[in-house]
Amino acid sequence: MSTSRLLEARNLTFSYGNKQDVLKSVNLTVSPGELVLLTGPTGCGKSTLAKCLTGFIPHYYQGALGGQVLIDGEDIAGMSLSHIARKVALVQQDPESQVCTLNVSDEVAFGPENYQVESTEIVERIHDKLAWVGGSHLSQRPTHAMSGGEKQRVVIAAMLACEPDYLILDEPSSSLDPPGIVLLRNILTSLKQEGLGILCIEHNIGAVRTVADRTLAMADGTLHDGPGRDSAIHSDSTVMRSLGPHPEPLLVASHLTFSYGHAAAVKDVSISAAGGEVIGIMGSNGSGKTTLLALLAGLLKPDSGQVVLGGQPLRDIKRNEALKRVAVVFQNPNHQIFERTVWRDQMLAASVAKLPVDVASEVSGRLLERAGLAQYRESNPFSLSHGQKRRLNLTSTALLSPQVYLLDEPFIGQDPDGREFVSRLVNETADRSGTCIVVTHSPEFVRRHCTRLVFMSEGAIVLDGPVQSVMKRMNEIGLGEYTVTEVD
Amino acid sequence: MGPYLGFINRNTVLHRLDPVLKLVALCAVAVGVLIYSSWSVNALVLIVLIVMFRVAKTRIGLASKRVKFLLFFSIFLVLLQVLVTPNGTVLFYVLPGPALPVTTFGLERGLFLALRFLLIVFSSILFVSVTDPSLLAQGLTRLGVPYRYSFMLVVALRFLPLFESENQSVRLAQKSRGIEPDVRSLSGILRTVRYTFFPLLVSALSRVDSLAMSMDGRGFGFAKKRTFVRRSTWSTADTLFSALVFGYLIMCVLLASGFIGLY
C-alpha cells in the first residue's frame, strides 16, 4: 500500500440500478497543490465521478460501484461519510442550496463546529478561509442578501474551514458573470498555493483552463487527456448580421424605472428594437438585466416610463394578446413548466391563445422534433435534463411565433446541439423581421449573431451600439473580461 | 411586501436576552392571556409590549399592509362582539326599534378578545425580530434538544426568503405564459394551485439533495455534541426579566383562580 499523498481513483465503474454504466473504468489522480480540470459534455458522468470521489456514492446513491477510491493510500470503502468529507470536500453546482445558516460567519463555522473544533480555533479559521476566497468583508452579512457569486465564495470558504486536503468543484463558473470568473481563477490559484489538490469539473473549459495544471476530458464514462493549456479555442467564422437602412421600431421602451421596495433595479432605461435586430445585453449579475426583460415583456409594471409594442402601449394590450407577440424565457426552467407531460406543457399556449388544436399540434410536433424532445412527448417535463427543460421553455413559447423574443441566459446548461437550436431560433425570428433581445455572458454569441450590444451597469444602460464598437469601448474602459471568449 | 419579517441584529437589551428565556416569555404571554381574561390586564401587557418594541428599536410598522390588516381585523373583532352580545348594561341601541343593543359586557368582551389577539400576534413579531435563531438553536441544544432537531429551525428560516423570491419568479413565469390566477370555479382554483405549487415543489425538492450533501459533507451529525462558536451568556438582565415573566404568570394564575381580585 502506498502512503504518498494523493487522491486516486482506480478502475472506477458505476451504474445507477441496472442501467448502462455511467463510469467505465476511470483512473484519475490528483496531487496536493495540483489543479486538474475535468471537462466533457453534459451527462457524461462528471458529476457522478465527483460523488464517487467524495463518498456520496455509495453513501447517498444506490447503484453498482466497482473499483477503488483511495485518499492518501487509504481505501474510502471502509470510511464514514464525515471522515471522507474531512479529507475531500465537494462544492456543488448551485451555491444557493448549499448554504444552511443565516449569516456568513455561522456558515463558515458550521463544519468545524460539527467536528467539535475548539471555538478559538474556529474563529481563526473563519477569518483565514474568508480571506482566502476574498470574502473578509462578507463575514457579518446575512446569507440571504448575497449575490450568487458571493454565496459561492462563502460555500467554498465553508468547505475549506473543515481543512480538507482535496477540493472538488462541480461547474463552479456556471452561475458567475465574467468578473466573477476572473475572481474564481484567482481563488483557485491561491488555493493551489496553499497546497490543496483541486479537481475542477467544468463544462465551460475557457473559464479555468489558464490556471489548470492538467486537463482531462470525459466521454462515454472514461477519461482521456484533454486539450492543453495553450491550445486555441475553436471558433466558427464570424457571421455578422446586417440590417436594412431604416428598420421599423418594433419594441420601444422609454424612461423605464423600476424598484423592488427601496432598491432601484432599473433606472431610466430607454431602448428600442427594430424588426430584424438581435440585441445582446451584457452586464454583471445584479445589474438589472432580468428585471428589464420582465418590464419589456409587460410582466412587471414600471414605476415610470412605458413600453410601446408595434405602436401600441403595452399596458393597453390584453395579456393573452401580448403573449402572441412577446415571448420571454427566464433562467430557471423549473419555474416555467406547468404541466404533467412535455406535450401538454408544449400545448398550454394553444389553449391560452385559443389556437385551433390541429394547427397547434402540427407546429408543436415539428418544434419538439427540432429541439430533440420528440421522444419525450409523454414524459414528465421535470424529469428532463436542465438543457432539455430550457429548450422546452423555448418551444412552448415558439408555438405562437411571437415577433419579440426576450431570452435570459439561454445558453447556460446547453450542450452544442442545444446551443445550435437556440441560435437557430434567434436567427429565424430575426429573418422574419422579428426581434430578439438576449441577455448573455457569451461574447461569442454576441459577435456571431447580434446586430447590437447593450451594456448595463447598476440598473442603467451605459453602452449601446454596434457590437464591434461597443466591445472596443468595453475593452478601453476596463470591461475587457466580458469580451474575451471564456464563457460558453 | 412589508418590512422584512425576521431577525434583525441590533445591540439592545432585548436582543441580548437569553433566547430560550425569550421563548419562555412568549409562551408565558400566550398562557397568561388564555387563562385569565380581562381587557384591562391585556391592555396593560400590550402597553408593556409597545414599550419593549421601543426598547428593541424595532418598528411595529403601522403603515405596513400586514399590520394594517391586523388592526382592522381586531377592530372587526370588537364590533362583532359588541353586536352579538346582548347581555350586560345597555349603553345605547344601534338601530331604532330598539334593536341591536350595545352593552358594557359586549364592549368589554370585544376589547378583551381583540387585545388578546393583538398581544399574541405582536409578541410573536417582537420575539422573531429580536431572537437570533442560531442562538436559539444553541440554547435549545444546551437544554438537551438534539442539535439535529434544533437546527431544523435555522434551516427552515434560511430558506424562507428563497421561497418567497421563487414564488415571485413563478408568478412572473405564469404571467408570461398567459396563466391568470382563476378563482371563479373550483377547477380553476385547483389549476391555479397546481400551477403554482408544482414548480415550487420541484424547485424545493431539487435543492434537498444538494442541501443534505452540503451539510453531511461538513460533518453534520459527526458526533452527538458539537461546538457552538456563538453562545448566549446569562446576565443580570436575564435574571430580572425572568423574575418579571414569572411574576406575570403567577399573577395570572392567582387572578384566574380567584385568589386575588382586580376590582
Q: What is the pLDDT of residues A383-435, one digit of tens each?
A: 888 888 999 999 999 999 999 999 999 988 787 888 889 999 999 999 999 99
Question: How confident is the model over A274-299, as pLDDT tens digits?
Answer: 999 999 999 998 899 999 999 999 99
Let me know if residue A242 belongs to a domain. Answer: no
Answer yes or no: do A287 and A160 share one domain. no
Inter-chain CB proximity B214 and A97 less than 8 Å: yes
Say if residue A237's pLDDT is above 80: no
Answer yes or no: do A149 and A280 share one domain. no
Nearest to B29 by CA among B11, B44, B13, B14: B44
Residues A15-22: contacts with CB under 8 Å, at least 24 apart: A15/A63, A15/A64, A16/A61, A16/A62, A16/A63, A17/A62, A17/A63, A18/A64, A21/A221, A22/A48, A22/A221
User: Given this model, what pLDDT does residue A368 score?
Assistant: 94
Let me know if residue A305 belongs to a domain. Answer: yes
Question: How confident is the model over B161-180, as pLDDT tens digits?
Answer: 888 888 888 999 999 988 88
ipTM: 0.85
For residues A46 and A219, give the distance between their C-alpha atoms in angstroms, rounded to a whole number.
9
For chain B, domain boundaries: 1-146+224-263, 159-222
Inter-chain CB proximity A261 and B1 less than 8 Å: yes
Say if residue B243's pLDDT is above 80: yes
Question: How confident is the model over A28-47, as pLDDT tens digits?
Answer: 999 999 999 998 877 788 88
Strands (E), B127-244: none
Q: Which of A110, A297, A334 sits opposite B199 (nearest CB)?
A: A334
Contacts of A297 in chain B (CB under 8 A): 176
Let me know if residue A68 belongs to a domain. Answer: yes
Answer yes or no: do A131 and A19 share one domain. yes
Closest-approach residue (CA) in chain B for A61:
B209
Let me know if residue A240 belongs to a domain. Answer: no
For residues B27 and A398, give the distance between their C-alpha atoms in angstroms, rounded to a whole number.
56
Domain boundary among A225, A241, A265: A225
For residues B52 and B45, give the distance between their C-alpha atoms in angstroms, rounded to a whole number.
10
Q: What share of chain B is helix, strand, coil (3-state, %, to 5)?
A: 70, 5, 30
The proportion of chain A whose per-residue pLDDT surpasses 70, expressed as a percent, equals 94
Answer yes or no: do A165 and A126 share one domain. yes
Range of the domain at A410: 249-482
Using 50, 70 and 90 to split pLDDT, how confident is the model at A466?
very high
Average pLDDT score over chain A: 89
Domain boundary among A225, A257, A276: A225
User: Given this model, what pLDDT does residue A242 score?
Assistant: 60
Let me know if residue A455 belongs to a domain. Answer: yes
Look at the alpha carbons of A410, A412, A413, A416 in this order and tell me if their dihedral is positive or negative. positive
Contacts of A123 in chain B (CB under 8 A): 229
Contacts of B158 in chain A (CB under 8 A): 99-102, 143-144
Closest-approach residue (CA) in chain A for B204:
A97
Average pLDDT score over chain B: 88
Query: How far B78 CA lies from chain A's nearest CA (Å)?
Result: 33
Q: Which of B134, B198, B216 sits opposite A106 (nearest CB)?
A: B134
The proportion of chain A whose per-residue pLDDT surpasses 90, expressed as a percent, equals 65
Say if residue A244's pLDDT is above 80: no
3-state secondary structure of A252: strand
Contacts of B167 in chain A (CB under 8 A): none
Answer yes or no: do A203 and A280 share one domain. no
Inter-chain CB proximity B222 and A89 less than 8 Å: no
Number of domains observed in the structure of chain A: 2
Rounded to an integer, the average pLDDT of B243-254 is: 92
Answer yes or no: do A65 and A149 share one domain. yes
Nearest to A436 by CA among A422, A421, A455, A417: A422
Answer yes or no: do A31 and A141 share one domain. yes
Answer yes or no: do A274 and A422 share one domain. yes
Question: B-contacting residues of A 80-119, CB under 8 Å?
Answer: 81-82, 85-86, 89-90, 92-94, 96-103, 105-106, 109-119
Query: How far B64 CA lies from chain A's nearest CA (Å)?
Result: 12
Let me know if residue A125 belongs to a domain. Answer: yes
- Give the number of other CB atoms < 10 A from CB of residue B156: 10
Answer yes or no: do A281 and A320 share one domain. yes
> Mutate which of B136, B155, B176 to disrupt the A interface (most A C-beta within 10 Å)?
B176
Answer yes or no: do A183 and A259 share one domain. no
Q: What is the CATH number of the domain that holds A307?
A: 3.40.50.300
Answer yes or no: do A472 and A333 share one domain. yes
Answer yes or no: do A126 and A179 share one domain. yes
